[in-house]
Amino acid sequence: MSTSFKTTCCYCGVGCGIVVHKDRQGKLHVEGDKDHPVNKGMLCSKGMNLHYTVMDTSDRLLYPEMRYNRYLPRQRVTWDQALERTAAVFKQIIQKHGPDSVAFYASGQCLTEEYYVVNKLIKGFIGSNNIDTNSRLCMSSAVAAYKMALGEDSVPGNYDDLELADCIFVAGANPAWCHPILWRRIEAAKAANPSLKIIVSDPRVTQSCALANLHLQLHPGTDIVLHHAIGRILIEQGFTDHTFISQHTEGFTRYKETVMQRSLASAAAICGISETDIIEAATYIGKAKRFMTLWTMGLNQSVVGVNKNLSLINLHLITGHIGKPGCGPFSLTGQPNAMGGREVGGLSNLLPAHRLMNNPAHRKEVQEFWGGVPLSEKPGLTATEMFTALNEGKLKAIWILCTNPLVSLPEARLAEAALQKAKFVVVQEISSKPETLQYADVVFPAAAWTEKEGTMTNAERRISYLQKVADAPGEALPDAEIICRFAQKMGFHGFSYNNAAEIYDEHCRLTAGTNIDVSGLNYALLKEKRSVQWPYPKGTTDLGTPRLFTDHQFYTPSSKAVIHSFDDDNKSAPPDKDYPLILTTGRIRDQWHTMSKTGKVSKLKQHIPAPFLEIHPDDAKERDIRADDIVEIFNSNGAVRVKAQLSTSIKKGVVFLPMHWGKILNNDLSRANNLTHNRLDPISKQPDFKYAAVQVLPY
C-alpha cells in the first residue's frame, strides 16, 4: 500500500513528469508519469534513480551552523541565531559599503518561488541588482540572442514540433546524453518517418551522431562560419522565403552581403569539414518543409556565444521556418528551471516578467508593486563578475544557494581565492559535500526535491507544479522560507507569506500585461491541469500557448524579426606552440552538474566511474601517451591529471574533459575548470567553457 504524488524531475530542462510512490515506511520509489505530455512515462537513468538521492540522507545538512570568525570552527546554532547574525552582518556591510557590496549567487535548480523571493529581496529591498545564477553559465547567450532577434526571451515552439519536423539541425549539443528523453522522442520520430533528416555539428562523434544523416565534425569555435556558409548556399540555391523575409524581417540585405564575403572553400577549410558536407546540410535544410534547430552549450558557452546563436536563428528567419508547426529555433535548457528563474527576473540584468532594467517605467511599476526601495538601473554583477569583485575587494559578502561554484565556474582556483577573500560567506545547501562549505561563515540547511512544493518551467515554456512528498530531515527548510525569514530579520515587510502558493500568486499578478503573462495561473489550476505553457493570461481555459509567433508578429519595435550580421571570427585565445591543443568540456550520460546528487547513486557511477581525458590517437602518439596512461593537461590557469582515453571520435587537435568532478580526496586535479577561461561573451557575459588552449603530456 503506497501513496502517489505527481512531480517533475529536478535535473535537466526537458522537465519529465514523475510519479513518486511512498510506502507506509516512508520508502520512496519513482516512475515516469504516463499522463505527462513531455515524457509519456519514460525516464532516463538519472530520473529513474532520483529517489535514492533523497532517501540517502547521510550527506545532508541538518542544522544551521555558524562561526564567529575565520579561526573558529562552525558550530550548530538555532535558526534564529544564524539568521539574526547574518542579518546583522549584512546590515553592517551595506551601511558601510552600500547595497552593491553584497550579492546572491543562485541556481537554475531553484524553484520559481525561491527565485522570486530572493530577487525581490535584493532588487526591491536591499536596492542592488547583484543577483545572478548558474544559468549565466548555461543559457544567457541564447537569452540575449532571442531578445535581439525576436524581441523577447522566448522559445517559439514546443517538443511536439520535433515530431512534426522533416529536418532537425542539432548544433553543438549531445541530447542523446544530456536531454535523453527528448532524444528518445526524436528517435521515435525518425523511426516513424525515416525521411526525417538529422544533422549534428560537433567536434566529437557523440551518441547523438548515431541517429544523424550527417555529422559535421567541425573545429571548435567555427560555428558561425558554418552557419554563414549554410546561409550563403540557401540564398544561392533559392531556398530562402522572400515573402517572409520582406514582410516579417529586417536586416537581410546586410546579412546577404556578410555571408557572401566568405567562399564555401574558405568556410570548409576553417571549419575542417568538406564543402560537400556543407552543401548537403544546406540542401537538407533548404528542401525541408519543416525545419528545427536544437542547441545547447556548444553554442552558448562561448566568447562569441550570442553571435553563434544569432547565426543559427538567422537560418530560420531567411527560410521562414518559425511560428509554424514543426519549425523554429529551440535552445535546449540545461537546468530544470532556468526559464522559471528568468520569468521572475532572477538574473543581474533582468526585472520580473522580462521587464527591462533600463526602462524607468518598468522599474517604477515593480517598485510600486513590491512597495520597497527604488530599483537600481545599474545591472548587477554576473556570475563570474561576482567572484572577480570578491577578489578585488569590491564585493564583501556573498550568499550562495543551491549551486557549487568551486566546481562549476571557469578558472575555479580564482573562485576559491575569491571566497577566501570574502568578508562573509553564506551557503544555503542540501548537502555537506560542496567545496563552498569550507569557506562558509554561515550554513543554512535546505530542503531537497520532494521535501517542498513549488513550480518549474521547462525548455518549452511548460510550467509544472511539484508536490511535497516528505518532510526535510533535521531542521532543513525550503529555500524560499529561509530567504523570507532572513528578509524579516532585516526588517523588510512583504515577506510574510503563509505558503508557497501565496508567493506564486504574487509572481503571477506581477506578470499581468507582459509578454509572458501568467496571471491566469495558480496552484489549484496547475494541480488540475498538471502543466501548462506560458503565456497564460487571465481567462485562459486550455493548456496555454504551445507555439509563439504564429502570426509572424515579433516583439521587436517594428514587429519584425531582426536578421543580425557580424563577422565570423572566434574571439577565444587560440592554441600556440606552448598550448597546442583545444580543450572542450561537457557532460557524461549519468552524472548531473557537480555530482552532489547523482554522485550518491552507485548505479549511476557504473557508467563512467572516474574522470578521463578523451584524446585522438594521433595526438596521443605524438606525445607517447598510451590508453589509460595518467596524463597531465595544463595551461597558464592550472592543471588536471586523469587517465587518457584514446578515441578517434574526437577531432585531432581537440581534447575533452567531463565537467562534473571537483576535488577528490582534497585534490583538485580532476576539476576540468582548473583549465577553462573566464573570458566572457561581451553581451551575455557567458564564459568560454568550450575552448581553452592546453598542452597534454604523460605524467
Angle at 573 between CA 256 and CA 350, to 5 degrees: 70
> 662: which DSSP letter?
-
Under rule CB under 6 A, residue 466 binds ligand SF4: no
Residues linked to residue 667 through DSSP beta bridges, in sequence order: 664
Under rule CB under 6 A, residue 297 binds ligand SF4: no
Q: Closest CB to ligand SF4 among 47 and 478?
A: 47
CB of 37 to ligand SF4, least distance (A): 13
Tell me the residue type at 372.
Answer: G
Under rule CB under 6 A, residue 186 binds ligand SF4: no
CB of 459 to ligand SF4, least distance (A): 10
Cell numbers at 256, concatenated = 546577404
Reference 111, options 502, 526, 478, 508; nearest CA is 478
Q: In sequence order, which residues have a C-beta less than 8 Å from that of residue 447 and are 6 or more positions away? A: 430, 472, 476, 477, 478, 479
Report the distance separating Cα 559 and Cα 555, nearest Å.
Answer: 6
Tell me the residue type at 532.
Answer: V
Contact 189, 223 (CB under 8 A): no
The dihedral formed by the CA atoms of 526, 528, 532 and 536, expressed in degrees to the nearest 10: -70
Q: Closest CB to ligand SF4 among 16 and 425?
A: 16
Under rule CB under 6 A, residue 54 binds ligand SF4: no
CB of 183 to ligand SF4, least distance (A): 8
CB of 365 to ligand SF4, least distance (A): 34
Site string for ligand SF4, 622-661 (x = CB under 6 A): ----------------------------------------
Under rule CB under 6 A, residue 15 binds ligand SF4: yes
Among 14, 83, 139, 440, binds ligand SF4 (CB under 6 A): 14
Residue 697, Cβ neighbours under 10 Å: how many? Answer: 11
Q: Closest CB to ligand SF4 among 180 and 687?
A: 180
Among 5, 6, 11, 301, binds ligand SF4 (CB under 6 A): 11
Q: Closest CB to ligand SF4 among 39 and 101?
A: 39
Reference 613, options 589, 636, 585; nearest CA is 585
221-to-49, 384, 491, 504 alpha-carbon distances in Å: 35, 21, 49, 41
CB of 176 to ligand SF4, least distance (A): 11
Strands 102-106 and 131-133: parallel
Under rule CB under 6 A, residue 595 binds ligand SF4: no
Q: Closest CB to ligand SF4 among 366 and 588?
A: 588
Under rule CB under 6 A, residue 20 binds ligand SF4: no
Q: Closest CB to ligand SF4 among 16 and 562?
A: 16
Under rule CB under 6 A, residue 44 binds ligand SF4: yes
Angle at 417 between CA 572 and CA 591, to 5 degrees: 65
CB of 529 to ligand SF4, least distance (A): 19
Strands 355-356 and 350-351: antiparallel
Contact 696, 468 (CB under 8 A): no
Under rule CB under 6 A, residue 9 binds ligand SF4: yes
Report the distance separating Cα 541 and Cα 139, nearest Å.
Answer: 31
Site string for ligand SF4, 352-381 (x = CB under 6 A): ------------------------------
Site string for ligand SF4, 155-184 (x = CB under 6 A): ------------------------xxx---
Under rule CB under 6 A, residue 43 binds ligand SF4: yes
> 650: which DSSP letter?
B
Under rule CB under 6 A, residue 47 binds ligand SF4: yes
Among 6, 16, 277, 362, binds ligand SF4 (CB under 6 A): 16
Q: In sequence order, which residues have a C-beta less than 8 Å from that of residue 361 and are 6 or more positions away? A: none
414-to-391, 394, 417, 667, 668 alpha-carbon distances in Å: 8, 15, 5, 16, 13
Candidate segments 38-46, 89-97, 243-251, 291-299, binder of ligand SF4 by CB under 6 A: 38-46
Candidate segments 13-21, 277-285, 500-508, 582-590, binder of ligand SF4 by CB under 6 A: 13-21
Q: Closest CB to ligand SF4 among 47 and 410?
A: 47
Reference 227, options 293, 157, 148; nearest CA is 293
Report the distance separating Cα 179 and Cα 181, nearest Å.
Answer: 6
CB of 186 to ligand SF4, least distance (A): 12
* 3-state SS, residue 426: strand
The residue written with cell numbers 573570458 in the block is 679
CB of 425 to ligand SF4, least distance (A): 30
* 3-state SS, residue 23: strand
Under rule CB under 6 A, residue 46 binds ligand SF4: yes
What is the C-alpha R_g of the chain? Answer: 24
Cell numbers at 621, concatenated = 602518439
CB of 180 to ligand SF4, least distance (A): 5
Under rule CB under 6 A, residue 313 binds ligand SF4: no
Q: Closest CB to ligand SF4 among 44 and 508?
A: 44
Q: Closest CB to ligand SF4 among 180 and 575?
A: 180
Please, how many CA atoms are within 13 Å of residue 1, restricted to the half-sphere of its CB? 2
Closest-by-Cβ residue to ligand SF4 is 47
Q: Closest CB to ligand SF4 among 456 and 582?
A: 456
Residues that bind ligand SF4 (CB under 6 A): 9, 11-12, 14-16, 39, 43-44, 46-47, 179-181
